Amino acid sequence: METSHIELTPEQKDVLASLAQETGETASSLIDKVLDELQERLRATRMHEREAAEPSPAANVQRTASEVKEEVNKNAPSVLDIFRETWKAIPEEELAAMPEDGAEQVDHYIYGTPKRR
């Protein structure tokens, strides 16, 4: 292993010596641990930044669905408008031929069950 010389302030030297005495580890070992921890934090920060910069596919789908819904709501006629237009298209003869008890006897007219009294 290659040895490098780095300069430490007197305060940094005191902290390092104190930690070495407290933990029973060498200064070199403590520096290795600190550097490993710092490196891991940097990796985690970079990963978090990448994830934040690139929205998840689910977020893209939801955003797209919201945009589509908004566009449809702006351009599409309401259900009531569709009903009114459809109602206008029914000829008067057809309306006159509709049973007056259609709502009360819906099962009879749709499914052919006997009429209820």
For residue 105, what are the contacts with CB-CB under 8 A and spacing of at least 6?
Answer: 99, 115, 116
pLDDT, tens digit (0-9, with 9 covering 90-100), for 21-56:
999 999 889 888 988 899 999 999 998 888 777 766
> What is the separation of C-alpha 23 from the centre of its chain, rounded to a whole number of angstroms?
46
The structural domains of the chain, with segments of one domain joined by +, span: 8-76
* Residues 108/114, Cβ–Cβ less than 8 Å: yes
pLDDT, tens digit (0-9, with 9 covering 90-100), for 55-102:
666 656 666 777 777 877 777 788 898 899 999 999 999 989 989 998
Tell the burial category of 12 from Cβ atoms under 10 Å away from its Cβ (0-12, 13-18, 19+): exposed
